[in-house]
Amino acid sequence: MTKQAKAEKRSLRLAFGGRDVGVLVANILIAIVFSFLAGGYFSSYTLLLLLRQTSEVGIIAMAMTILIVCGEFDLSVGAIYAVVGIITGLLFQNFGVNLFLSATAAMVLALFLGYLNGLLITKTGMHSFIGTLATMMVFRGIAMVSTGGRPVSSLPKMPFFTIFGEGMIFDIIPVPILWLLAMCVFLFFILHKTSFGVKVFATGDNREAAELAGIDTITIKRYCFMLTAFSAGIVAFTSIGFLRTATPTQGQGLELEAIAAAVIGGTSMMGGVGSIFGSFLGALIMAQVRTGLVLMGTDAFVQDALVGLVIALAVIINVQLSKKNSV
């Protein structure tokens, strides 16, 4: 092969998922290590368990990836998740609204909250951290006030809950895994295959250049916030479906786990760089470390610390990789 063709091939690999390969390799290495350390780790049961565990953080991490690529992030996503669960449960249980209608209303509310986030950030130009920290507290307050802090529990068995959370396919695959995979395909398509995705990359990479190339970056950012809120709604449905309970405190810390998973997956907090598949694999790494440590019988307090170490390690490796790529 000529030198030029080689360089061409190399740069193609870098542009389309060079980093994803790194996260995939890391996943495999971690799996091998735990197979030796924890008995029974290497099995189809563990794989399903992992995917089931990844589903919540994974869905949000993938949507958050799109938001991070466009140059923002959302700390209020865990609170939106709580609001959707609570509102769905309340409308159904206390007001007797049809469950599908309740869920639809809660999802519309989630989209509205996402829109509010986008409006706040794009209108005032304040940093995502401050803006969504504020709305996180407000939204969490909405969830708490609407039930007086109590959970909405003992919901009856309904088809809606089966579809989103309780159901098993072939009596073995929990439906949340299906939702995870469906959202993965959907979000992958949005970010990597549509004009919207191209504009998201441009917006996060260089906002002024994007504006001068005729991209309405304000609208793009608002849609990204709404997309993240939408994913929080989907996750709220899988949770309420599985537990048949919604608590106003649920999802605390979910936003940070999602951001961590995205970053492990190679998403740059500076914007303009990231991939859906990478974030999916990033969430899987976090789930692997947690599950592996549990199977090894590690103390719960040690687990969090070790997950923290994994995040730091993953980011160090990513920075090294991207340095190498840019030369």
Question: Which residues of this protein are in contact with other proteins, per CB under 8 A?
Answer: 4, 7-8, 11-12, 14-15, 192-199, 201-202, 205-206, 208-216, 268, 272-273, 325-326
Q: Please, which residue, 15 or 300, has the CB nearer to other proteins?
A: 15
Q: Please, which residue, 147 or 322, has the CB nearer to other proteins?
A: 322
Q: Please, which residue, 150 or 193, has the CB nearer to other proteins?
A: 193
Token pair for 17: 């998922």
Q: Please, which residue, 206 or 252, has the CB nearer to other proteins?
A: 206
3-state secondary structure 80-135: HHHHHHHHHHHHHHHHCCCHHHHHHHHHHHHHHHHHHHHHHHHHHCCCHHHHHHHH
Q: How far is the CB of 326 from other proteins (least distance, A)?
A: 6
Q: How far is the CB of 213 from other proteins (least distance, A)?
A: 4
**d(Cα 188, Cα 196) in Å, to the nearest integer?**
12
Q: Please, which residue, 132 or 268, has the CB nearer to other proteins?
A: 268
Token pair for 111: 């989209």
Q: How far is the CB of 224 from other proteins (least distance, A)?
A: 16
**The CA-based dihedral angle spanning residues 135, 110, 231, 233, taken in that order and rounded to the nearest 10 degrees:** 120
Q: How far is the CB of 78 from other proteins (least distance, A)?
A: 28
> 55-89: string of b/e by CB count within 10 Å (b at 16+)?
bbbbbbbbbbbbbbbbbbbbbbbbbbbbbbbbbbb
Q: How far is the CB of 261 from other proteins (least distance, A)?
A: 20
**d(Cα 102, Cα 108) in Å, to the nearest integer?**
10
